[in-house]
Structure 1
Amino acid sequence: MRFSLIIKVLIGVGVCFQLQAQEDSLDQDHSTSEIKFLFDESRQYLGSISFSYQLPMPNGDNFIGSGFDGTDGFGFSGNLFVFKNLYVGVNYGINNFDVIDRESVGNYNNTQIEERYLTLGYELLPISKVRLGIYTSFGGEATLSNSIVSGKSNRDSGKLWIYGLRLEYEFMENLNLMVVYDWRQIKSNIRVPDELEAYFEKGTYNVLSFGLKFNFGSNSLIN
């Protein structure tokens, strides 16, 4: 049911962007200006703050991919444009999962993953009012809180890596709608017998996010 909704939302976003592209093409029909794909001074910002609602989707043959079922989450990020559209960011988020395979993962009902990481990325400008961000994480940390009905819990931790794409639509001045898709991997510190080490060494999941991005400033840190 959730995947059907996600597909419908993505199709709707794609249609909106296509209509916008057609409108821009008509407006520029007799114009000799070129599309500024890598940088446009008139669309430059100093930084941004964004908030998002997240849908985590476990994948892969590992303790997250096989043992968890994603429910929901949220994310916060602050970005600073260092030079033109090259930016660094600080990020914080939480994703929630139900445990669906207690025999392999442990006798828990749910797990909450707290994520803290920095990003390095670049924003492309394919058409008017549309921005496309590509990024990777560094210095990422994850804390997994495993809970049971009685309220007791234990925690695990690991190193977090992320690779992602962000599509934005500038529907108001300094305010963007965004859809974000990224792949996440946790290299865990979970201690298990040798025969289970490969299963618990790394956990992978995808995250689809929907949110708002607030932009500020008009020049990058280095002009």
Structure 2
Amino acid sequence: MNLNSRIKFYCFAFILIFKGICIAQINDSMLEINGGKRLPKNQVLGTYAIGYTLPIATGDNFVGKGLEGKGGYSVDAQLFVFKHFFISGTFGVNYFDVKNKEIIGNYYKAKEGHQYLGLGYEFVLATNFRLGFSTALFGKSQFINTSETNNRVAFQRDTGRIRCYELYFDYMLNKIIALHLNAAYRNDRMDIKTASEIQPLFDNAGFYTVTFGLRLYFGNKDVFSGIKSAK
């Protein structure tokens, strides 16, 4: 099983486990409400989020010097393991135009896709405000450059290992739905081999992303507390 297959397997397993625990906690929370027990304040089981992403190409690398961000999307899920510590799974795509063919080559656009698992912590600043940060543990990215000659379309694919650091802010509209703002820095380690004089430009893919979207919150206990109360 290659790295890409392992990442897909872990992300799929993460979603299944997340869904199962969420359903179990919904049932458990109904029992607790009926039993009159007091639930932890501001604690949740997990979240789903989706948003529009603006990639910002910058830095002394092929992305910053050769590409211009156009847009994209991101989907992620969080599972709170212990109190406000969480693991996360993220999928996303970013789109770029080529602004410097001398660096990128004879291509006119590029698409970057990624998937990774992360670890983070969330602060509850007030009833309606949440602030969190996370870092990617492992994952994969792929850049696909597109060219067209004599009505023939060709693609160039390059892969890399995710290095991502994120900071997000959520404003709770109610107990379930929040406005979501995410700022991330990417500095992926790329598997690109080229001429030695320009190789340093292609060792890393560095850029920023800003994401605007919605986040849905579920459950009322972290995984550890849910397992403990079930005994």
Smaller-chain TM-score bracket: 0.7 to 0.9
Structure 1 residues 51-73: Cα deviation after superposition (integer angstroms, max 9, x where no partner)? 01000001101100110000000
Taking only the aligned residue pairs, the percentage that are identical comes to 30
SS in 1 for 2:162: strand
Structure 1 residues 155-187: Cα deviation after superposition (integer angstroms, max 9, x where no partner)? 010111111110000012211111110100121
Candidates 180, 186, 189, aligned match of 1:187 = 189
Structure 1 residues 2-25: Cα deviation after superposition (integer angstroms, max 9, x where no partner)? xxxxxxxxxxxxxxxxxxxxxxxx
| Map of 2:104 onto structure 1 | 105
| Map of 2:117 onto structure 1 | 118
| Map of 1:168 onto structure 2 | 170
Q: Is residue 142 from structure 1 mapped to residue 131 from structure 2 by the alignment?
A: no
State the 1:128 CA deviation. 2.2
SS in 1 for 2:63: helix
State the 1:77 CA deviation. 0.5
SS in 2 for 1:172: coil
| Map of 1:131 onto structure 2 | 130
| Map of 1:25 onto structure 2 | none
| Map of 1:220 onto structure 2 | 222
Q: Is residue 204 from structure 1 mapped to residue 206 from structure 2 by the alignment?
A: yes
| Map of 1:26 onto structure 2 | none
Alignment of 1:8-87 (within 5 A): 41-87=40-86
SS in 2 for 1:209: strand
Distance 1:206 1:103 in 2: 23
State the 1:103 CA deviation. 0.7
Distance 1:178 1:147 in 2: 32
Distance 2:186 2:139 in 1: 10
Distance 1:113 1:155 in 2: 10
Contact 2:159 2:192 in 1 (8 A): yes
Distance 1:128 1:173 in 2: 9
Unaligned runs of 5+ in 2: 1-38, 226-231
Distance 1:67 1:160 in 2: 20
Distance 2:84 2:216 in 1: 16
Aligned length: 184
TM-score normalised according to structure 1 size: 0.80
Distance 1:100 1:162 in 2: 24
Distance 2:216 2:127 in 1: 18
State the 1:197 CA deviation. 1.2
My pick for the range that moved more, 68-77 or 147-156, is 147-156
Distance 1:210 1:158 in 2: 25
State the 1:148 CA deviation. 1.4
Distance 2:96 2:137 in 1: 24
State the 1:201 CA deviation. 0.5
Structure 1 residues 69-96: Cα deviation after superposition (integer angstroms, max 9, x where no partner)? 0000000001100000100011100000
Unaligned runs of 5+ in 1: 1-39
Cα-Cα RMSD? 1.1
